[in-house]
Amino acid sequence: MVHVTGNQPNGTPNWLDLGIPDLDRAKEFYGAVFGWEFQDYGEEAGHYHACLLQGEPIAGMMRNPDDAPSECWWQIYFATDDVDGTLKRATDAGGTLVLPADDVMDQGRMAMLKDPTGAQFGLWQGRAHIGTRIKGEPGAMAWSELSTTDSKAALDFYGAVFGYVQERMPGDLDYTALKLTAQADDPGVGGVMSEPGSNLNAWLTYFLVESADDAVGRVREGGGSVVAEPEDSPYGRLAVVDDPFGARFKLMSQ
């Protein structure tokens, strides 16, 4: 387990949150699947809830406003020590602004945008809130992956914004790992998977679980659906699921 105690390096996925139409049902579902507990940050924060693992915040959840679209998704945020500067690089590289840079009380500074393929992501400059506090533990974020119909445009964009070192993975799958350094022991912070025949351009999150098969069972019991059954891979046993509202995420067990 890694206990995160400070702001993470630029370009590291450092937070997730979910806009959901039924907060109580979402808490029941994710509590059962991952063992999370929840903390309401109160009216001042719009009743934004922290998802807690071992008492530490690892993600966020809130109810969509009444006039919000019905779709929901797990929103990924990337660490930056300068939201405004990173936002300028992103828009200069072809990104589209969704929410301008703004302070979130004393917690940090954020912005939201879409890459040139239409995949949405956030930027988070931590202050009082540094982002997810636990990694490498069942129930926590394990990996971030961009599914895209145009991997070249995506790789050019994220390289310009965050300066990632890009490593094409061997094999038939068109997959590129994103790393912060060129060192051989750099585990990477995410990947870009080319899916030209898909209509999906989105960042998806892998959550670590003790058993992908058991977690898939809990997803079904909680009213979610299974998109891809657990399958062994060189990186662990993987499955793809949707929560009861259609928000997609992935499960990974070692």
For 61-71, how does the pLDDT look when each residue is reduced to its tens digit (9 = 90+)?
A: 999 876 665 56
Domain endpoint, select from 134, 154, 176 = 134
- Same domain (yes/no): 66, 14: yes
DSSP β-ladder status, 13-20 and 37-40: unpaired
- Same domain (yes/no): 7, 129: yes
- Same domain (yes/no): 125, 10: yes
Tens digits of residue pLDDT in 198-232: 778 999 999 999 999 999 999 999 999 999 999 99
Domain span including residue 34: 2-134
- Same domain (yes/no): 149, 127: no
246: left (phi over 0), alpha (psi -120 to 50) or beta: left
Tens digits of residue pLDDT in 139-189: 999 999 999 999 999 999 999 999 999 999 988 889 999 999 999 889 999
- Same domain (yes/no): 157, 70: no
- Same domain (yes/no): 222, 211: yes
DSSP β-ladder status, 120-126 and 74-79: parallel
Q: Burial code of 39-50, b = ≥16 C-beta within 10 A, e = fewer? A: eebeeeeeebbb
pLDDT band at 2 (very low <50, low <70, confident <90, very high): confident
Domain endpoint, select from 118, 134, 150 = 134
- Same domain (yes/no): 80, 177: no
Question: 């971030």: which residue's tokens?
Answer: 144
List the CATH number of the domain containing 110. 3.10.180.10
Mutual angle of helices 23-34 and 212-221, in 10-degree steps: 150
User: φ and ψ at 138, to 5 degrees?
Assistant: -50, 130
The reported pTM is: 0.95
Report pLDDT for 170.
87
Name the token pair of 132. Answer: 């997810």
- Same domain (yes/no): 147, 75: no
Angle at 223 between CA 198 and CA 197, to 5 degrees: 5
Residues in the chain: 254
The DSSP code for 110 is E
- Same domain (yes/no): 92, 119: yes
- Same domain (yes/no): 237, 152: yes
- Same domain (yes/no): 16, 114: yes
Q: Give me the number of domains the chain comprises.
A: 2
Domain endpoint, select from 102, 117, 134 = 134
Could you give the CA distance from residue 80 to residue 8 in angstroms, rounded to a whole number? 8
